[in-house]
Structure formats: structure tokens, C-alpha cells
Structure 1
Amino acid sequence: MRINVRVRHGKGEIKEVAEGIEVFTSEPMENNRANVDIIRQLARKYGVNSANVRIISGASKRRKIIEIEK
């Protein structure tokens, strides 16, 4: 799944857009805090454990590819 991330923008929201999914997080990118919040949000939305959500590529970028195991 391809996602675009909006850092320090909003209170944590996931929107489906034509290009994939947009995830909004209020966390900064420093110390991996934004990635942890993104994983938590996606796990909650898809009803899986956070350990089942993995960033395949783009860990330090705003565009990421995510894998979710059910």
C-alpha cells in the first residue's frame, strides 16, 4: 500500500485519495515518532496488531510503502 504522510498536520487522520492513502500525524519526524504514530493509526484502522504493520520503503520520506499482514 502506498501512503503519503502529512507531518505535524492534524490530530491523526487517514484519508483515501486517488493516489492511495494520506495519513496525517501531529508527531514530528524526529526520533521516528511520526513513523510510530503512522503504524499505530494504520493498525487501528485495519484491525491488526502494530507488529503486523511494516514500512517497506520510505522510512525517512513522506511517501512510504507499507505492508499490513492480517
Structure 2
Amino acid sequence: MKDLNESDVDDAVLTEFFNKVAFFLVYPYFRATLTQMAGNMEVPIPVLPVVQQGDAAFSDIEVKRPETKK
């Protein structure tokens, strides 16, 4: 993996990774931040739904790649 170049990873693989892994890694932090913000503002804490794989799909992700040397 250390020799893998960013341009070698297909956009479809990145989209699949985001749909299956990245969203679910970020979601708990989003929930915690939202809860903390509501507490700081002294408003009722919003109830967020439990999200399961397949509930959220991101198919139109635009992948911006830095210029790389080949």
C-alpha cells in the first residue's frame, strides 16, 4: 500500500469506500457534535435516526485529485 499512487485508485473504489466505511466513521462524531451544540445553546437535543448500510448512498461524489508525478 505504501507504493500505491493516488492516481491508481479508481473513483468507483473511492465512492464505494465512502458509502461503506467513511460515512459510518464520521457519523458518530457528527451526532456528538450536534448534541454538544444543542446543549450549549440550551435547546432540545435533536434525535437523529440510526443509519444502516444502504440507507445513505453517495453516488455523485466528485473526486478532486492533486497533480501527481507519474
TM-score, length-scaled by structure 2? 0.28
**Structure with higher helix content:** 2
Higher relative CO (Cα under 8 Å, sequence separation at least 6) belongs to 2
Structure number with the higher strand fraction is 1
